[in-house]
Amino acid sequence: MRITTTVNGTEHEVDDVWPGESLLYVLRERMGLPGSKNACEQGECGSCTVYLDGEPVCACLVAAGQAQGREVRTVEGLADGDRLHPVQEAFVECGAVQCGFCTPGLLIAAHDLLARVPHPSDLEIREALAGNLCRCTGYEKILDAVRLAADRQARS
């Protein structure tokens, strides 16, 4: 089937999509946007988190057909050209990125949290990011990064 989806502001038309393909597969393998990651493809780890019409979802759990005519925003669409989003900057600066496989999903989840709750408490950060597994960092520096991004957003 043919699917037309707007991804990061650009309309993508993709042919020959199987009904069983996930949005994640179509983004990664058919649109050349591998930023969203394929760690579990079961909706358990959050590494494929993207915005679908402004709502964070696990792209692995969305059938590609469900994205027809809708707006997707992935990690590739967070930066403003060469200028990193404050959440991205904070992840790099705080050492919240080690292997980085969980990072794209965490960035979307953190970005969404800070849009809804500009000054989250630690418990609010933990609740918001509990669906995103990270195996490298022990999460301490991820918390640091979200706190720093919140501070920067408040100042800007």
Interface contacts to other proteins, rule CB under 8 A: 18, 20-21, 28-29, 32-42, 44-45, 47, 74-76, 78-79, 84, 88-89, 91-93, 95, 97-104, 107, 123, 125-127, 129-143
The distance of closest approach from Cβ of residue 77 to other proteins in the complex, given in angstroms and rounded to an integer, is: 9
Residue 50 vs 69, nearer CB to other proteins: 50
Long-range pairs for 56-61 at CB < 8 Å and ≥24 separation? 56/108, 56/109, 56/112, 58/24, 59/22, 59/23, 59/24, 59/27, 60/22, 60/23, 60/24, 61/22
Of 44 and 69, which has the nearer Cβ to other proteins? 44
Q: Give whichever of 9 and 32 is closer to other proteins, judged by the CB atom.
A: 32
Nearest CB to other proteins, comparing residues 122 and 151: 122
- The region, left, alpha or beta by phi > 0 then psi within -120 to 50, assigned to residue 50 is beta
Coil, strand or helix at 97: coil
Output the smallest distance, CB 53 to other proteins, in A: 20
**C-beta of 4: minimal distance to other proteins in Å?**
21
User: Which DSSP category does 38 fall into?
Assistant: -
- Report angle CA 25, 26, 29 to the nearest 5 degrees: 70
